[in-house]
Amino acid sequence: MTSYASSLFFWRFVFATAVLICLFKDVEVQSQNAAAELALMQQFEQFMVEHEKVYDSLAEKMRRFEIFKDNLKKIEELNADPEQTAIFGVNVMADLTKLVDCTKESDMCEGGEFEAAFKVMQDPGLTSEKEYPYKAANGTCKSKFTVIEKLKSYKDVSGSDSKLIAALPTSPLVIAMNANDDFQWYIGGVLNPKSCPADGLNHGVVIIGLCGDSWLIRNSWGTKWGTEKGHIYIKRGKCGIGLWAYSFKA
């Protein structure tokens, strides 16, 4: 009986010790996870300050925080790819789920046609940003404003790279392109995306230069995005660039 009792005590002791070890490890893991989450929240708070982000409620802030964390993972994956020639990082777009996130309604800010915009630029013409500021939301067209410039003409130069290169010395080129996730988190280098279908045109930008086999493009997301205060270098022949392009004269 004494031997049996000793054996039973021993195995109970072993079991209790194992349980305690598991509990301690679980507490340690939870502590590490909490520390990592706190570090991410601090990074998110810094991002909010740097990019002047303000959310309507705590619930909206936490929703954006979850998006921010998911985007950080995608950025890390892109930078870990040895074949990438671009650099990706946290920029003004890091709390967004898609490239255009200006309103909550699904049918708002869905873009427009270049030629329709050009016709307005011809008649009635353009006014100043101060008089008619961009608000990133649907609105009603103002019929009265001070005209400071009119577009004289525009020309369709869509097609091959050679057509774009020939037109570029006389005018910046307004183009449509496929702006995918790689584009969204770009902060430097030359963007050469692996997957960027030409049939996915979803964004309007302006080609302002040619650097070797790369286009220098001005985007419309402000000076805190991209490189050189709102610009991007992207390899020629990518993302449908050239399928829809216009030169113009003011």
pLDDT tens per residue across span 30-60: 666 778 888 899 999 999 999 889 899 999 9
pTM passes above 0.85: no
Phi, psi of 70 (to 5 degrees): -60, -40
Please enumerate in sequence order all residues whose Cβ is within 8 A of that of 153, keeping only pairs 6 or more positions apart, or say none.
248, 249
Which residue is listed with tokens 């929703």? Answer: 63
Is the model's pLDDT at 170 over the cut of 50? yes
Burial state string for 195-222 with b = 16 or more CB within 10 A and e = fewer than 16: ebeeeebbbbbebeeeeeebbbbbbebe
pLDDT at 104: 36
pLDDT tens per residue, range 197-226: 888 888 899 999 999 999 999 998 888 899
DSSP letters for 47-110 = HHHHTT---SSHHHHHHHHHHHHHHHHHHHHHHH-TT--EEE---TTTT-SSS--S-SSTTSS-
pLDDT tens-digit map of 54-97: 899 999 999 999 999 999 999 999 999 998 899 999 998 888 86
